[in-house]
Structure 1
Amino acid sequence: MREQIAPDLYDSWSEEQCAGIEVVDGMVVVRPSASKRHNRLARILANALEVAAGPDWNADTDFDVRLQDVPLTNRRPDVVVYRAETIDITPTRPEHVLLVVEVVSPGSETTDRIVKVEQYATAGIAFYWRVEQAANGVPLVYTYVLDPATRTYRDGDVFTGVVKVAAPFPVEIDLGQI
């Protein structure tokens, strides 16, 4: 029988041990391997968000965000915009995070479209972007904004080709370079 993992045990594992997994309700979930297109898209988004965010925020890829301690739930969003002053604080908590981006891939559709939306909203993360890799090669970006009173996301704008938003900060990202 499998047992739930406690935060202190998980925190003792190396980065290499944690790299390809998430922990949901205390149980290890193996993440599917990302394609080169997926990784490039995440990197382009992270780089553009990093530049636009200014000095108070960092944008990075592929690290844990601890959504809850009991039962342990750690997610690894494809892109995270977080407070620069928390760069050395581990684990990264929802209150450190402004925006998470998930790039939908085969095998992550339900998790990225339904499960993570609810988890990130419940945790209080203000902005969520979901990127769909369209068959024509031009990604679609769905944006969501947290309603703090209900801890649910409201639908924002949908972009194809170029993402141009004013919040959480002004940024324009050309997705045609994929």
Structure 2
Amino acid sequence: MSAEMVAPAWMRQQVGAEQYDSWSEEQCAGIEIVDGMVVASPSPSPSASKRHSRLARILANALDSAAGPDWNADTDFDVRSQDVPLTNRRPDVVVYRAETIDLTPTRPEHVLLVVEVVSPGSETTDRIVKVDQYAKSGIPFYWRVEQAATGVPIIYTYVLDPATKAYRDGEMFTGTLKAAVPFPVAVDLGTI
């Protein structure tokens, strides 16, 4: 099978910021751009997709309520860490400065926290690659949600060490999240 049969040409060529910004939301859905190249974000199975979406939405709602007026929490939009080569990641949940709601693209300096919900096919990216990229771009907090076989999510939290531009381990929560940083938030994920 040739590459033309598997992926359209626009997915095999380096993409610049101006070109990406001209694409429709439909073209941008389900992809990220890393070093200028389109990377398809794996879609979980239909049942895992519902759980994934629900976890992200519940976390975003809880974070949005707890964050106060200076921060918003939303799901599924780009965070652009660099223009050349273009790198856009699409975290599952983003907590960002409320005053930047109308600014596009969202930049790491606007972001306080990103959350990734790990799904089959995203394990290495969410556990290793994105952790490094988010830390190097200066995002202060990273949370990773693992969907355990028991059905009870496990939440790993990380805090940026600004001197090393690397995350250090924070707290781990099973089922119920009761975090003190970046602001107090509590949510029961064990009922999902």
* Alignment TM class, shorter chain as reference: over 0.9
How far apart in 1 are the matches of 2:104 and 2:29?
15
Question: For structure 2, which runs of at least 5 residues remain unmatched after alignment?
Answer: 1-8
Is it true that 1:65 corresponds to 2:79 in the alignment? yes
Please say which structure displays the higher CA radius of gyration: 2
Q: Please report how far the alpha carbon of residue 173 of structure 1 lies from its aligned counterpart in structure 2 after TM superposition.
A: 1.1
Look up the equivalent residue of 1:27 and give its one-letter code. Answer: M
Look up the equivalent residue of 2:88 and give its one-letter code. Answer: N
Match of 1:107 among 121, 125, 133: 121
Q: Secondary structure at the match of 1:158?
A: strand
Count matched residues: 178
Equivalences for residues 1-178 of structure 1 within 5 A:
2-34=12-44, 35-178=49-192
How far apart in 2 are the matches of 1:88 and 1:140?
33
How far apart in 2 are the matches of 1:70 and 1:50?
32
Aligned CA RMSD, in angstroms, stands at 0.9
Query: 1:43-80 CA deviation, whole Å, 9 max, x = no partner?
Result: 00000000000111000000000011111100000000
Query: 1:14-51 CA deviation, whole Å, 9 max, x = no partner?
Result: 11211111001100011112410000000000000000
Give the % identical residues: 81
How far apart in 2 are the matches of 1:83 and 1:75?
18
Question: For structure 1, which runs of at least 5 residues remain unmatched after alignment?
Answer: none
Look up the equivalent residue of 1:83 and give its one-letter code. Answer: R
How far apart in 1 are the matches of 2:15 and 2:184?
40
Q: Please report how far the alpha carbon of residue 7 of structure 1 lies from its aligned counterpart in structure 2 after TM superposition.
A: 0.5
